[in-house]
Amino acid sequence: RVHHSFVELPDDNYTPRLYDPRSGYGALTYQDYATPLGESMTKRFIRRHRLEKKDP
């Protein structure tokens, strides 16, 4: 069974944060096969949400 999810990408001013084990956040880990040779294919970012008020 295969499941595909399509998610709208955030606008250009959203910047993901790299994972650091000291941060206290859970990591989102994936393999980036487009990484140049000699660099780690494993990419880690923290899971975070950009919450904004609907009516500021």
pTM for this entry: 0.58
**One-character DSSP codes across 12-33:** TT--PPBP-GGG-PPEEEEE-T
Q: Answer with the residue of higher pLDDT: 37 or 16.
A: 37
d(CA 56, CA 52): 8
Domain boundaries, the chain: 15-48
Q: What is the pLDDT of residues 12-35, one digit of tens each?
A: 777 888 999 898 888 999 999 999
Q: What is the pLDDT of residue 32?
A: 94
